[in-house]
């Protein structure tokens, strides 16, 4: 009887696979184990195949549904392209580097400058990665150019420091403009060894930690109104992610264990707070962040979360908790949250996407699958 059930399971699996456009080896082996590198191949290839615009940028929706150029999302999509290239070496990804570099500048009005400091920070972070990947100085020079604008966003007039969210709102000091700024400063320090960047990273992070980080719980609050002194306690996964990412980079650069503890605390809060996770499935939630820009948020958290998991000095008790959560998110997304006919993701990682999907949701799903392949366990 046991062998009949095994045969039935095998036949059912083969029938399911034959209905999918994912190749058999891209899904599971006979032990129902996911081949994560193959899964990443099928997921990430959707970005050049179904979101790329020949003018040199990524459409906001799949299959040519160009709803208008969006600047900061270009960084998130290109980060996945870099992930895929570093993993596979496939030139279908690297062939997009220069067209993207030139295309987003044209679409942004002939400049990389933007009124939103956080938008420029995201583009600059991706430029640093492109430089590390190619050693082409144009990417590093552009990151430095963007840093020059971002540095100007720091002001003492409102909130005793901090990088403003927008050039025309110097009083609004947000986690989304200070977390990535500290992270960018430390990434620039890593590639240049210029102490000026390191000092900026320490300074910006210290402001963020003092003003928007709950040291007791690990929550990263959304913003400080520098005029009224009011703090918005809204919570988002990407604020947790960039805070922990900056803290982790500072730890690697300084060896100060306080930074690693902060990173760990911010990560633990994100994977345990009921406002940020789906407690029933133990995955990052979709309800509080949804579509649009919010669709990118979970992927940003995952990008820096997996790096923390792979940090050799992380306490093993926390590593095990983080690995369990991370692995569960990837398993559920690939088993339940991907439309296997189109390899498309939605904002909800427990439900298959249907029809058109947005770049944010697709990018976050791809980022998780690439991160799972990178982790490799």
Closest CA to 220 of 239, 201, 192: 239
Q: Using an 8 Å Cβ cutoff, are 74 and 58 in contact?
A: yes
- For residue 41, count CB atoms less than 10 angstroms from its CB and return exposed for 0-12, middle for 13-18, buried for 19 or more: buried
The pLDDT value recorded for residue 38 is: 96
Q: Using an 8 Å Cβ cutoff, are 324 and 377 in contact?
A: no
Q: Using an 8 Å Cβ cutoff, are 88 and 39 in contact?
A: no
**What are the mean pLDDT values of the chain's consecutive 10-residue runs (377 residues total)?**
34 35 34 86 96 96 81 98 98 98 98 98 99 98 98 96 97 98 98 98 98 98 97 97 98 98 98 95 86 93 98 98 98 93 93 88 97 94
The pLDDT value recorded for residue 16 is: 33
Residue labelled with tokens 């050049």: 48
The pLDDT value recorded for residue 32 is: 61
Q: Is the dihedral of CA 239, 245, 248, 250 positive or negative?
A: negative
Q: What residues contact 212, with CB distance under 8 A and at least 6 apart?
A: 175, 178, 220, 221, 222, 223, 224, 231
Distance CA 365, CA 372 (A): 11
Closest CA to 80 of 100, 66, 54: 100
Distance CA 81, CA 67 (A): 21
Closest CA to 176 of 119, 126, 225, 228: 119
Residues found in the chain: 377
Q: What token pair was written down for 275? A: 């406002």
Distance CA 19, CA 226 (A): 56
Beta bridge partners of 57: 53
Beta bridge partners of 223: 174, 232
Distance CA 54, CA 96 (A): 10
Q: What token pair was written down for 66? A: 């160009």
Q: pTM, whole model, 2 decimals?
A: 0.91
The pLDDT value recorded for residue 8 is: 34
Radius of gyration of the chain (CA): 21
Report in angstroms the alpha-carbon separations of 197 from 139, 202, 228: 17, 9, 30
The pLDDT value recorded for residue 117 is: 98
Q: What residues contact 91, with CB distance under 8 A and at least 6 apart?
A: none
């Amino acid at each position: 009887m046991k062998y009949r059930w095994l045969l039935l399971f095998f036949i059912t699996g083969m029938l399911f696979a034959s209905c999918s456009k994912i190749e058999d080896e891209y899904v599971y082996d006979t032990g129902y184990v996911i081949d994560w590198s193959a899964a990443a191949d099928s997921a990430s290839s959707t970005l050049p195949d179904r979101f790329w615009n020949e003018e040199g940028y990524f459409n906001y929706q799949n299959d040519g549904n160009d709803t208008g150029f969006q600047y900061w999302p270009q960084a998130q999509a290109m980060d996945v392209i870099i992930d895929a290239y570093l993993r596979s070496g496939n030139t279908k990804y690297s062939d997009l580097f220069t067209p993207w570099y030139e295309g987003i500048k044209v679409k942004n009005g002939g400049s990389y400058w933007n009124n939103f400091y956080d938008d420029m920070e995201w583009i600059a972070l991706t430029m640093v990665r492109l430089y590390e990947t190619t050693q082409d100085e144009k990417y590093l020079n552009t990151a430095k150019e963007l840093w020059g604008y971002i540095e100007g966003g720091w002001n003492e007039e409102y909130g005793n420091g901090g990088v403003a969210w927008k050039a025309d709102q110097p009083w609004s000091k947000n986690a989304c403009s200070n977390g990535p700024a500290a992270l960018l400063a430390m990434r620039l320090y890593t590639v240049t060894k210029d102490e000026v960047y390191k000092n900026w990273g320490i300074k910006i992070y210290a402001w963020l930690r003092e003003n928007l980080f709950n040291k007791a719980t690990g929550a990263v609050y959304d913003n400080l109104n520098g005029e009224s002194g009011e703090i918005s306690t809204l919570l988002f996964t990407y604020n947790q992610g960039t805070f922990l990412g900056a803290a982790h980079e500072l730890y690697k650069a300084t060896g100060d264990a306080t930074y690693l503890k902060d990173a760990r605390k911010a990560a633990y809060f994100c994977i345990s707070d009921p406002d940020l996770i789906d407690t029933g499935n133990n995955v990052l939630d979709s309800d509080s962040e949804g579509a649009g820009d919010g669709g990118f948020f979970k992927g940003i958290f995952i990008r820096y979360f997996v790096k923390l998991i792979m940090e050799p000095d992380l306490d093993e008790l926390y590593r095990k908790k983080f690995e369990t959560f991370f692995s569960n998110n990837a398993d559920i997304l690939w088993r339940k949250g991907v439309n296997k006919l189109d390899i498309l993701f939605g904002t909800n990682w427990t439900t298959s996407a249907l029809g058109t999907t947005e770049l944010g949701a697709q990018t976050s799903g791809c980022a998780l699958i690439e991160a799972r392949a990178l982790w490799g366990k």
